[in-house]
């Protein structure tokens, strides 16, 4: 059994994660918060998805702050143009991401 050095999981198990990511309908929107601050909201994740790790990857890649709540990730700033590229890198299907 081959182990992935980055995640520590068996390589066979990781193929199932990719299949689960492809079937989701991800939606990227913006919202205006207090004092006119803009936040980017990424929603539509299935309940089994590890939203905490997705939020961490998005924040690191986009160099911004943010949080995750229930089924969505909230990023500080307007990152609509960049979020899709990062989600595709993480294994989500490009056609399932709505902007």
Q: Alpha-carbon Rg of the chain, whole angstroms? A: 14
Write the pLDDT tens digit of every residue in 46-56: 877 889 999 99
Determine phi and psi for 14, rounding to 5 degrees. Answer: -70, -25
| Residue ranges of domains in the chain, CATH in brackets | 28-87 (3.30.780.10)
Distances from the Cα of 48 to the Cα of 32, 36, 45, angstroms:
29, 33, 8
Q: What pTM did the predictor assign?
A: 0.75
**Terminal C-alpha separation, the chain:** 39
Average of per-residue pLDDT values in the chain: 84
- Say how far residue 47 (Cα) sits from the centre of its chain: 13
Contact (CB, 8 A) for 38 and 30: yes
pLDDT averaged per 10 residues in sequence order, the chain, 99 residues: 69 56 82 94 87 93 93 94 91 86
Alpha-carbon gap, residue 38 to 50, rounded angstroms: 25
């Amino acid at each position: 059994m081959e182990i992935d050095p980055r995640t520590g999981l068996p390589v066979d198990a990781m193929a199932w994660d990719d299949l689960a990511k492809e079937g989701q309908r991800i939606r990227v929107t913006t919202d205006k918060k207090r004092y006119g601050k803009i936040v980017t909201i990424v929603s539509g994740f299935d309940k089994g998805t590890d939203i905490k790790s997705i939020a961490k990857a998005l924040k690191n890649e986009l160099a911004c702050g943010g949080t995750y709540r229930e089924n969505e990730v909230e990023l500080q700033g307007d990152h609509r143009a960049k979020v899709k590229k990062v989600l595709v890198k993480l294994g989500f299907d490009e056609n399932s991401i709505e902007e």
